[in-house]
Structure 1
Amino acid sequence: MRKSLFALAAVAATLAAGAARAETATYAVEPTHTFATFEISHFGAAVNRGRFDKKEGTVELDKAAKTGKVDITFQINSINTGVAPFDKHLQSADIFDAAKYPTARFVGDKFVFEGDKLVSVTGELTIKGKAQPATFKANQFACYQSPMLKREVCGGDFETTIDRTQFGVDYGVQFGMPKNVRIVAQIEAVKQ
C-alpha cells in the first residue's frame, strides 16, 4: 500500500511538472503599441528624442514558473525624431550606419520577479553588430484580456541607460555630447 501511494505521488509530481512546462505561452509583438524611444542630452540644454517605428518580435512567458524570453528587432531606417534631416544623419555611417547595420535587437532571457510582479528583463542588446549585456527595469507590467482582440495581451513599460560608445556609436563625444543614452521601451504582445 505504501509503495502504491509513493508511486501515485511520483506520477502526480511528474504530471504537475509537465503541466507547469505546458504553461509557456507565445505572444507576438503588437507593433502599434510597441516602441523603443531614446533620449540623449544635447549639450545640457535640451534632450534629443527619437523612436524606431518598424519592429517585430515575440515574447515567451510562463507566469507560473516566472520565466520568459523576449526577442525584438527594430529597423534602424525607421528612426523618427520628427526632423527628417536629423533622421537621415542618425541613419548615416556617422551614427547608426543603417546601410551596414539595418537592425538593432534585444534578446532577453532572464526575467526577474518579486512575487508576481515582473521587475526586470536582462539579456543582450545588439547595435551596429556589437552585443552588450543590458537590463531593462520594468516600470509597469500587466496581462489583460483585450476587449477588442478577444485574446490575452501582456505588456509593460521598461527602461535602461546604455553607454553608446560600447556599441560604436560615438559621434559627438569629441564635442562634449554625453555617452549615456536612456532607452524607454513600451511593449505589448498578443497571445498566439
Structure 2
Amino acid sequence: MRRSLTSLAILAAVGAVLPAQAADYVTEPTHTSAIFEITHFGAGINRARFDKEEGKIKYDPVAKTGQVELTIDASSISTGVPPFDGHLKGEQMFNVAKYPTIKFVSTKFHFDGDKVSQVDGQLTIKDKTHPITLKATQFACYQSPMVKREVCGGNFEGMIDRTQWGMDYGLNMVAGKEVKLIATVEAIKQ
C-alpha cells in the first residue's frame, strides 16, 4: 500500500511538470492587449492600445507547432486623449470606418527548448498584408485557479515599417516610420 501511494505521488509530481498537450485555446480579453509605440518629433514616444481583441490559438508544445488568429477592433484604439484617438481612427491613419479590423495570422511558431521564442505571421492593416515576426519576451502555461483550466500566454514584441500599410501621415516630421508592436496574450484551453 505504501509503495502504491509513493508511486501515485511520483506520478502526480511528474504530471505537474509535464508540458501542456496539444489543444485549442481562446484568448482571454482581460489579459490580452495589443499596444504600439512610435516616436513623436524625436522627443518622446506616443503609445496607444487597442481595447478589443479576440483570437483562437492551436498550440502543441510536444510537436512544437502552433497557430494564431487574432482579430483587433480598430475602432477600440485608445491613447487616453480623445482628440488624438479621433485622429488615429480617421482617414489619414487607420481609417476605421472603411477598415474596421486588424488581423494577425501566424505562419510559424519557433521554440527555444520547450518555450515559444518567436511567432512569424501575416499582419493585415487597411487591407494590406505583410509578414512580421514577434519575439517572445516571456512565455508560460499554468493551471489557472480562477478558470480551473490551463492558460498559456506571453508577451511578444516586434518592429514594423508603417509605410508598408499606407500609413504615411507625418512621416519624418511628426512621427517616425518604425513602430514597435507589443502583444500580450493569454488564452484559455478549451
Aligned-residue sequence identity (percent) comes to 58
Instruction: Identify which of 59, 63, 68 aligns with 2:66.
Output: 68
Q: How many residues are treated as equivalent by the alignment?
A: 170
Distance 1:105 1:163 in 2: 16
Unaligned runs of 5+ in 1: 1-22
Q: Is this contact kept in 1: 2:123–2:132, CA < 8 A? A: yes
Structure 1 residues 20-59: aligned runs within 5 Å: 23-59=21-57
Distance 1:163 1:119 in 2: 22
SS where residue 156 of structure 2 aligns? strand
Displaced runs of 4+ in structure 1, greater than 3 A? none
RMSD: 0.9
TM normalised by structure 2 equals 0.87
Residue in structure 1 matched with residue 163 of structure 2 by the alignment: 165
Structure 1 residues 106-121: aligned runs within 5 Å: 106-121=104-119
Distance 1:61 1:95 in 2: 34
Residue in structure 2 matched with residue 139 of structure 1 by the alignment: 137
1:179 maps onto 2:177 in alignment:
yes
Shift of 1:176: 5.1
Residue in structure 2 matched with residue 99 of structure 1 by the alignment: 97
Distance 1:105 1:82 in 2: 23
Q: Which amino acid aligns with 2:28?
A: E
Shift of 1:175: 2.4
Q: Which amino acid aligns with 2:132?
A: A
SS where residue 38 of structure 1 aligns? strand
